[in-house]
A and B are shown apart, each in its own frame.
Chain A
């Protein structure tokens, strides 16, 4: 099976712009979670989607949003970008009876 894919891999944006990141889960996985990784805060949970519904949400401002499509692909959007949004954004999918999450390669976002 193909693993989790994320596009784009690298992105450079300017403060105030918005950005959309995409994630395709492992085939058959219906749960998709997003995490932000920064040197200062480490790995922090953003949100989880299951069958097109947001199931959990982390402690991030409303500028961070997401959605999931009927084919389980997910997108996250960050509006009005701030310098502090520069991070590696990781997507993970989960399926079956196991609780382990499988991560994609991440999208490295740089805000200038």
Chain B
């Protein structure tokens, strides 16, 4: 069975601090995808990144970086020099790849990030 755990329910940081959002997943499949989404107060889920299980390279995109470690089943997300506009709920999600296609997204409970000016 698939499961995604985001142990941090809420995090508050002061602007310009770095912050890491944790994500731990469970899957029996060897082929899967991991995702991060951002949900600002408007409600729309904004796609941030997709990573497949065969690609353990870390990725950096501007102030965002992602650390994927299969050995610990983790896919953590770091925001460097946080800004007030980063305030949102962040979701980690998992989708397995089966012979019949990809399974629906299974989401973690989300981490609410508040960046204080």
Main secondary structure of the interface of A (DSSP, over half): strand
Q: Which of A42, A58, A98, A102 sits near B104, CB closer than 8 Å? A: A58
A108 close to B50 (CB less than 8 A): no
Among all A-B residue pairs, the 7 with the closest Cβ atoms:
A103-B45, A45-B104, A43-B107, A105-B44, A100-B50, A106-B43, A42-B109
Q: Is B58's beta carbon under 8 Å from chain A?
A: no
Q: Which of A42, A55, A58, A108 sits near B107, CB closer than 8 Å? A: A42
For B, the interface residue count at a CB cutoff of 8 angstroms equals 23
1/0 per residue, CB under 8 A from B, across A72-112: the answer is 00000000000000001010100000111111111010000
CB within 8 Å for A101 and B44 given contacts A42-B110, A43-B91: no
For A, the interface residue count at a CB cutoff of 8 angstroms equals 22
**Looking across the interface, which residue of chain B has its beta carbon closest to that of A33?**
B104
Chain B residues near A56 (CB-CB < 8 A): 103-104
Q: Is B102's beta carbon under 8 Å from chain A?
A: yes
Chain B residues near A108 (CB-CB < 8 A): 43
A105 close to B42 (CB less than 8 A): yes
CB within 8 Å for A55 and B101 given contacts A42-B107, A105-B44, A106-B44: yes
